[in-house]
Amino acid sequence: MRHFDHIDIGHRKHLFYRHPRPFGRHDDPDVLAVALGATLYCPATRPSLARDIVKAARRGVASMVVCLEDAIADADVAAAEANAVRAFRELYDRDPGAADDEPGDAAHGRGNGRPRRGPDIPLLFVRVRTAEQIGDLVDRLGPAADLVSGFVLPKFTAAAGGAFLDALEDTAARTGRRLLAMPVIESREAIHRETRADMLQDVARLLAKHRDRVLAVRLGATDLSAAYGLRRPPDLTIYDIRPVADVISDVVNILGRADGTGYVVTGPVWEYFSAGERMFKPQLRQSPFERQRAAPLRERLITSDLDGLIREVHLDKANGLLGKTVIHPSHVAAVHALSVVTHEEYCDAADILGVAGGGAMASAYANKMNEAKPHRAWAERLMLRARVFGVAAEGVTFVELLEAAGRR
């Protein structure tokens, strides 16, 4: 698969200086962690789950989580498991010649045992409730488990997380599949100041023992907020909710370091997709949209509260987070458009990486100083993002990328 492949190739040539490169579920986890982008969460109880996965992919979704945890009621767990297994088998057994939105009937085990996985199937993960679900679901899926890239591990602590990671290791060894983990930091030990530092240090030590399995660390802002009875309104970002912002800072500090010990940390969920009454002014300036003659696009973003999402993604990036949890396909275009490396950023990174021995230089755009040693880690990370999301052509703005990515 490749980001922005749903955009006409002629238009992509106009938008990109360096095009996004393809990636697949068997690529290096360092690449996949950056390629996740906007990860769409979907309850496992959805009756048209297989069809929804395909439709989401056609809207540019490259990673999805099928949720068996908080998104469904306790009484519905067994039905949700069965529905997820049925949907994954249905996707696995699709007729390669069928229309994209018409998965065929499930026929578990049919064919030569190799997945008929076309470019319209995103990276798929399952968010489980218990460690035992990991092996059980893989066994029930049979060959369709080839579609599972890994599992999301909820309420992750060192005390509870070991069982999840052991189950993942055991299942991978038993079945010969590579299964990746995305632990979620969202427990009360993480939000409470007196326990947070020790808890995160313990998690870091546990994850280090399973480093090859850990794809990314996710942040559960909803659960973290719930510990204080909080919920952020749509015209504020998660960084305005200070108890949660403090957790994000400490997670990046301990688990997101650029010294080789850290992991990709993904942005917390944006949970709004329809505007209510607005207390503050819109958070998108008019001039960039007017220059691109895209005033209607700005109005649509504001009407859907996506101006708040855009601001939060900017803050995610500034604070060291990559990608984001989303709950509606309309969020994906904004996250991915903001993930494209600008031409200016690319020129800066190339200059920094092209210098040996340190030193400082004026940027190619003559508007900042680039220092080869302190900016090197930033440049290396940016080049990995450029690999999977591409580099915008000179003069192409976020507005153009968003407008193109949001087209159907």
Burial of 226 (0-12, 13-18, 19+ CB in 10 A): middle
Query: Tokens 């993002």 belong to which residue?
Result: 385
**What is the rounded CA–CA span in Å between residue 246 and residue 400?**
34
Residue-wise pLDDT tens digits, 139-193: 999 999 999 999 999 999 999 999 999 999 999 999 999 999 999 999 999 999 9
pLDDT for 349-389, tens place per residue?
999 999 888 899 888 888 999 999 999 999 999 999 999 99
Whole-angstrom CA distances from 47 to 41, 43, 74, 75, 95 are 15, 10, 17, 16, 20
User: Which contiguous run of DSSP H or E holds residue 255?
Assistant: helix 242-255
Q: What is the pLDDT of residue 283?
A: 58
Per-residue pLDDT of the chain (408 residues; tens, 9 = 90+): 999 998 989 999 999 999 999 999 999 999 999 999 999 999 999 999 999 999 999 999 999 999 999 999 999 999 999 999 999 999 999 844 344 444 433 333 333 344 444 447 999 999 999 999 999 999 999 999 999 999 999 999 999 999 999 999 999 999 999 999 999 999 999 999 999 999 999 999 999 999 999 999 999 999 999 999 999 888 889 999 999 999 999 999 999 999 999 999 999 999 887 655 554 555 555 566 556 655 565 555 545 557 888 889 999 999 999 999 999 998 999 999 999 999 999 999 999 999 888 899 888 888 999 999 999 999 999 999 999 999 999 999 888 888 888 765
d(CA 330, CA 407): 10
For tokens 């060291």, the residue is: 320
CB burial of residue 279 (10 Å; 0-12, 13-18, 19+): exposed
Domains in the chain, CATH or no CATH each? 23-339 (3.20.20.60)
By the 10 Å C-beta count (0-12 exposed, 13-18 middle, 19+ buried), 395 is classed as: exposed
pLDDT at residue 113 in the model:
41
pLDDT at residue 102, rounded to an integer: 41
- Looking at residue 75, the DSSP 8-state letter turns out to be G
Q: What is the DSSP letter of 326?
A: E
pTM above 0.85, yes or no: yes
CA distances from 267 to 314, 337, 408 (A): 10, 15, 25
Residue indicated by tokens 């800066």: 348
Q: What is the DSSP string of 203-236?
A: HHHHHHHTGGGB--BEE-HHHHHHTTT----TTS
Structure token digits, residue 18: 């360096």
Note the pLDDT of residue 352.
Answer: 95
